[in-house]
Amino acid sequence: MKLLENKVAVITGAGSGIGKATAELFAKEGAKVVISDINTEHGNAVVKEITDKGGTAFFVAADSSKPEDNEKLVKEAIKKFGTLDIAVNNAGIGGPLGLTGEYPLDGWKKVIDINLSGVFYGLRYQIPAMLQKGGSIINVASILGSVGTRLSPAYVAAKHGVVGLTKGAALEYADKKIRINSVGPGYIKTPLVENSLDANALNALVGLHPIGRLGESEEVAEVILWLASPKSSFVTGAYYPIDGGYLAQ
């Protein structure tokens, strides 16, 4: 039997990168996957890739920074498949770079709205949908949810917030069969990273990881799959780095 046989999963930011890899792996393991993204073209392309391989998926256009879109996403999943078992709050942006004392106010708001408030809005509507029979929620934080870095105050603040929000919510719902965990990817070869950095900057990032390379989206997806599955049945409120040794230094 597949790990997620007949489970219904919602994944935000699933049009590319970690979200896409997670959606494809979930479908391979038997889940019915609700693909969500602000990019309709990318979202529908992921659905096609999954269904062409015999999996089950459909797309819902949603902006994770809007509460009403998160509510709509959960409602559409239940309308289509009758339930919600798993949610992966993955949508995120890097935002502008800048010193804290000079950081653009609109950049701060946008990063917090998507990377932190978006996770809260997800939880706000996913949890009530799981109260009857339980479920698993995985929030995608970052290594920068545990440590700081220069020039990214909004991103660091948001990802620290995601880790704390995850722990608090996990405690609230631990006795209601809803497990809530977070993962902390290091620098992963996603469009978010590759499209914003030149070759020299990418090489510098590689040097920050003792394992000697950047991570792959599929490697993060494997940990998310484990947290979504019954194999992690005694795990809640946890934060799992997937970072090639970055945080061990």
Average pLDDT over residues 232-240: 98
The answer to the question of residue 249 being in a domain is no
The answer to the question of residue 1 being in a domain is no
pLDDT tens digits, one per residue of 76-110: 999 999 999 999 999 999 999 999 999 999 999 99
Residues assigned a catalytic role: 155
Average pLDDT over residues 38-47: 98
Average pLDDT over residues 165-194: 94
The answer to the question of residue 2 being in a domain is no
The domain total for the chain is 1
Distance CA 152, CA 95 (A): 8
Identify the residue whose tokens are 């991103």: 155
pLDDT tens digits, one per residue of 9-22: 999 999 999 999 99
Distance CA 10, CA 209 (A): 31
The answer to the question of residue 175 being in a domain is yes
The answer to the question of residue 208 being in a domain is yes
Reported pTM: 0.97
Domain of residue 72, CATH code? 3.40.50.720
CA angle 241, 247, 249 (to 5 degrees): 155
**SS3 at position 141:** coil
pLDDT at 187 over 90: yes
The answer to the question of residue 45 being in a domain is yes
Structural domain span for residue 107: 8-241
The answer to the question of residue 228 being in a domain is yes
